[in-house]
């Protein structure tokens, strides 16, 4: 490891593999004829904590030595794989100021700032203790001796090392904080957590605290007042003269920190390939949903995979929350795509509603995902309510079927229908009938930014809350599951807590402590410690702390998702799958597509005279037939179109004219007179004249 004044630093770049030991200074052993000087190397990774004992008068010398020592692992451990927690109650951050530039690139590298106040110190120590508990109980257990063994198999989800730096201990340390510090120093190394502690022996220790407890688990360097020098308290080196290291000049120090910060920003992106959790192609559409849905979401630890389980025990509905950029959209795409690979459309149906101002779900409409019964993009509240009403109707329909079959669970219903050879005939449903009532698919309703239902205190909010509560409480027996996503559960616009409490599965991505307590439990703020996009907590115990399981959402790029969806579409064609009803697509920011109006298409194919002709105007913001104005031979049977969008108004008029023309009796003369007062130079000036050439005997333009 080159000295700070070496020319090698001019071409230095961050390392990919961590070194073992780092210099803290220079040791000189006095001999009879000459002295021997050699670097004093102290391992950090896999070693004990480091403890300095000094007087207030020598604190500055030790602080600079600590800066130099910490800079060594920073530039040798791979970027983003080393994180600091700084506690500097006397210096107020000045003792570690050069490292705080890392926060400009990624705040998690330094846990935001240097902490000084007693309550903040205790909270940071509690966070590290919680992290250690999670590593020991979830990752290491009795399978891995150390974090290094675990990381060797964890791949992309390897745990970073953490270094706790305490300056001027015991200033601002409570008794509880001091006990936590001993626990971290004692148990941290196995978990990849190391402490570098500067003890001011001029200060009084907390009541009942014995410094020997720290010294026993640390490498100790102490100031010897009688010899006026620092002594490495080790049997082999205690008689050697120790000269502590000093940091490099500010220019090199800042260059190392900024280079590592820039590299860490890029390296912090953890992308676990989707192929690692996707079923092999030979197993596509082989899943059986009779006893529930089970979908892989991403790796959990070095050897396990985290699954979303719905339909067994108390696990029937799920909540997902994560702030902007936390990876919620990636999670939803991974879930939908893997679900569509695992189960056939006869096994599971999807109702996808997105209230977000974006087009996250549009790809499933473009690729005609056969599992998707309803796809709502930039949805309106009215359409979302219509979807809920349709599912409420389906819930009642399934209840009637189950009562007729004498069963109370979807698995029992399927088994009985199969046992009776399909003799039971299902009732017709007026809303989205299934391919066969003899093999009811499970239904997954997925609503992103669901709180949009409740942004206004009106009938829509009230009805939505009632139906969602009914689906959550009763849907489990009938194979209907609800998954609600949001950036936050805080605020007045959200679902009733009584309904949320019925949703046992909680998935929390990066979020604030307040949101963590809302989505998990009041005493479970664990999601605040999630440090990267895609890192999440899966909890199937109604948010209780003991149910926390960390995992990393698998990464599914857009182009790869398109390829999978194209393959699913090809698989549906190869198996000649035909849905009972066409897919319902609502795109709130796009005009209605007249070619999807089946009633109008049938009429144009086979014109049918009518005494009450209808003029089709567009698609309703609900799951209903296309919207039309009916003309009767009575007063007030007129149509007025008002608006500032000329193109939309003209489009509605032309579609209305074409539809009406197909409903008039033959030989009825010339019923349509169009008075066009638009300017001659407008883009659509000739549209009506062109239409008149297509139906010359029915339309005159003036």
pLDDT tens digits, 433-488: 344 455 689 999 999 999 999 999 899 999 999 999 999 999 999 999 999 999 98
User: pLDDT, tens digit, for every residue of 673-698?
Assistant: 888 888 888 888 788 888 888 777 67
Once rounded to an integer, what is the mean pLDDT over residues 254-275? 91
User: pLDDT, tens digit, for every residue of 579-614?
Assistant: 877 788 888 777 778 887 878 888 888 888 888 888
Q: What pLDDT score was predicted for residue 438?
A: 57
Instruction: Inform me whether the pLDDT recorded for 700 exceeds 50.
Output: yes
Instruction: Inform me whether the pLDDT recorded for 427 exceeds 60.
Output: no
- Phi then psi dihedrals of residue 248, to 5 deg: -70, 180
Instruction: Inform me whether the pLDDT recorded for 424 exceeds 50.
Output: no
557 vs 542: CA distance, rounded Å: 31
Once rounded to an integer, what is the mean pLDDT over residues 654-669? 79
DSSP codes, 299-335: EETTTEEEEEEESBTTB--EEEE--TTSSHHHHHHHH
Residue 174 carries which DSSP code?
-
Q: What pLDDT score was predicted for residue 689?
A: 83
The mean-pLDDT minimum among 416-430, 535-549, 577-591 falls in 416-430
Give yes or no for a contact between 393 and 367, defined as CB atoms under 8 angstroms apart.
Answer: no
Once rounded to an integer, what is the mean pLDDT over residues 113-132? 96
Predicted confidence band of residue 539 (pLDDT cuts 50, 70, 90): very high
Number of H helices, E strands in the chain: 17, 27
Tell me what percent of the chain is helix, strand and coil, each rounded to the nearest 5.
Answer: 40, 20, 40
Q: What pLDDT score was predicted for residue 580?
A: 76
Q: For residue 499, count CB atoms less than 10 angstroms from its CB and return exposed for 0-12, middle for 13-18, buried for 19 or more.
A: buried
Predicted confidence band of residue 419 (pLDDT cuts 50, 70, 90): low
Token digits of residue 54: 């000094």
Give yes or no for a contact between 619 and 627, defined as CB atoms under 8 angstroms apart.
Answer: yes
Instruction: Inform me whether the pLDDT recorded for 53 exceeds 90.
Output: yes
User: pLDDT, tens digit, for every residue of 325-383?
Assistant: 999 999 999 999 999 999 999 999 999 999 887 678 999 999 999 999 999 888 889 99
Give yes or no for a contact between 554 and 546, defined as CB atoms under 8 angstroms apart.
Answer: no
Once rounded to an integer, what is the mean pLDDT over residues 398-418? 87
- Mean pLDDT, the chain, whole residue set: 89
pTM of the model: 0.84
99 Cβ contact list (under 8 Å, min separation 6): 67, 70, 74, 84, 86, 110, 257
């Amino acid at each position: 490891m080159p000295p700070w004044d070496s020319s090698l630093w001019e071409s230095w770049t961050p390392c990919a593999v961590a070194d073992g030991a780092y210099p803290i200074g220079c040791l000189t052993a006095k001999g009879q004829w000459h002295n021997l000087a050699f670097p004093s190397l102290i391992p950090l990774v896999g070693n004990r904590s480091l403890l300095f004992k000094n007087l207030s008068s020598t604190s500055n010398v030790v602080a600079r030595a600590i800066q130099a020592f910490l800079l060594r692992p920073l530039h040798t451990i791979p970027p983003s794989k080393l994180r600091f927690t700084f506690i500097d109650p006397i210096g107020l951050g000045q003792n570690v100021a050069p490292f705080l530039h890392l926060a400009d690139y990624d705040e998690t590298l330094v846990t935001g700032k240097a902490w000084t106040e007693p309550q903040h110190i205790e909270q940071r120590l509690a966070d590290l203790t919680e992290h250690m508990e999670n590593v020991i109980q979830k990752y290491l257990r009795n399978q891995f001796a150390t974090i290094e063994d675990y990381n060797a198999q964890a791949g992309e989800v390897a745990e970073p090392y953490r270094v706790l730096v305490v300056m001027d201990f015991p200033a601002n340390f409570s008794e509880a904080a001091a006990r936590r510090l001993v626990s971290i120093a004692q148990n941290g190394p196995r978990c990849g957590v190391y402490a570098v502690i500067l003890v001011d022996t001029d200060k009084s220790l907390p009541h009942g605290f014995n410094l020997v407890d720290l010294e026993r688990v640390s490498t100790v360097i102490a100031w010897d007042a009688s010899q006026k020098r620092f002594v490495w308290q080790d049997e082999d080196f205690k008689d050697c003269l120790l000269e502590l290291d000093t940091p490099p000049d500010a220019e090199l120090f800042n260059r190392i920190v900024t280079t590592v910060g820039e590299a860490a920003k890029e390296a912090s992106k953890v992308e676990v390939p989707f192929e690692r959790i996707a079923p092999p192609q030979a197993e596509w559409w082989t899943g059986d949903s009779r006893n529930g849905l089970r979908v892989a979401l991403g790796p959990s630890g070095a050897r396990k995979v985290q699954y979303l389980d719905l339909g067994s025990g108390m696990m029937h509905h799920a909540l997902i929350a994560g702030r902007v950029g936390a990876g919620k959209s990636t999670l939803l795409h991974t879930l939908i795509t893997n679900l569509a690979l695992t189960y056939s459309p006869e096994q599971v149906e999807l109702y996808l509603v997105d209230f977000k101002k974006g087009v996250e779900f549009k790809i499933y409409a473009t690729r005609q995902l056969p599992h998707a019964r309803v796809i709502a993009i930039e949805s309106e509240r009215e359409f979302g309510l219509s979807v809920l009403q349709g599912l409420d109707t389906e819930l009642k329909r399934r209840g009637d079927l189950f009562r007729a079959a004498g069963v109370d669970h979807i698995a029992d219903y399927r088994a009985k229908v199969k046992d009776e050879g399909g003799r039971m005939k299902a009732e017709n449903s007026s809303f989205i009938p299934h391919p066969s009532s003899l093999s009811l698919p499970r239904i997954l309703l997925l609503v992103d930014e669901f709180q949009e239902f409740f942004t206004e205190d009106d009938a829509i909010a009230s009805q939505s809350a009632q139906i969602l509560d009914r689906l959550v409480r009763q849907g489990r027996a009938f194979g209907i599951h609800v998954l609600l996503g949001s950036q936050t559960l805080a605020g007045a616009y959200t679902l009733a807590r009584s309904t949320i409490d019925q949703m046992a599965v909680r998935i929390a991505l990066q979020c604030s402590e307040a949101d963590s307590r809302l989505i998990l439990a009041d005493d479970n703020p664990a999601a605040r410690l999630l440090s990267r996009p895609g890192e999440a907590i899966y909890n199937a115990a109604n948010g209780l702390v003991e149910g926390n399981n960390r995992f990393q959402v698998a990464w599914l790029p857009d182009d790869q998702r398109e390829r999978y969806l194209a393959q699913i579409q090809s698989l549906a064609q190869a198996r000649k799958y035909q849905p009972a009803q066409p897919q319902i697509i609502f795109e709130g920011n796009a005009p209605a597509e007249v070619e999807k109006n089946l009633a109008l298409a049938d009429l144009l194919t086979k014109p049918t005279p009518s005494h009450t002709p209808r003029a089709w105007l567009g698609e309703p913001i609900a799951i209903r037939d296309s919207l039309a104005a009916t003309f009767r031979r009575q007063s007030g049977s007129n149509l007025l179109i008002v608006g500032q969008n000329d193109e939309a108004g003209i489009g509605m008029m032309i579609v209305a004219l074409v539809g009406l023309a197909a409903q008039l009796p033959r030989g009825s003369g010339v019923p349509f007179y169009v008075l066009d007062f638009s300017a001659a130079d407008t883009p659509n000036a000739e549209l009506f004249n062109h239409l008149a050439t297509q139906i010359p005997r029915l339309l005159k333009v003036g």
